Amino acid sequence: MFETEPKKHARSNLQVFLGFLLGIVASLGSLFLAIFFGQALEQHGRWIYSAINAVALIGVGIFALRRVRESDLALGAVMALSLALLFDAGAAVYLSR
């Protein structure tokens, strides 16, 4: 019975931390993408920056979330992207006032 149970591998804290840093870099990249496209769509208001950033963060987050089981880097990236999405939501609320 014990032989059929799947073996859980231990997560590497260093790999998760490096993935977290990778997620920060990805969120900064999506922020620059939002600024680039937001300049073209500026007539719609300041909230467009947060909307474009949210779409980019969700896209990168889905990509990383699919690989969480195989990679510790993806777990750290998902954590960083989730935090960035929370900060983006706060910025959207602030800019909509």
pLDDT digits (tens, 9 = 90+) for 33-88: 988 888 887 777 777 888 899 999 999 999 999 999 899 999 999 999 999 999 99
Residue 89 lies in a domain: yes
Whether residue 5 is contained in a domain is answered as no
Q: Which residue has the tokens 């889905």?
A: 62
User: Is pLDDT of 11 > 90?
Assistant: no
In this structure, is the dihedral angle defined by the CA atoms of residues 38, 54, 95 and 91, taken in order, positive or negative? Answer: negative
Structural domain contains residue 7: no
Whether 4 maps to a domain, the answer reads: no
Structural domain of residue 33, as residue ranges? Answer: 13-95
Is the pLDDT at 2 greater than 70? The verdict is no
| Total domains, the chain | 1
pTM: 0.83
Domain contains 57: yes
Q: What share of the chain is helix, strand, coil (3-state, %, to 5)?
A: 75, 0, 25
CA pair distance 74, 80, nearest whole angstrom = 10
Whether 59 maps to a domain, the answer reads: yes
In a domain, 1, yes or no: no
Answer whether residue 44 is part of any domain.
yes
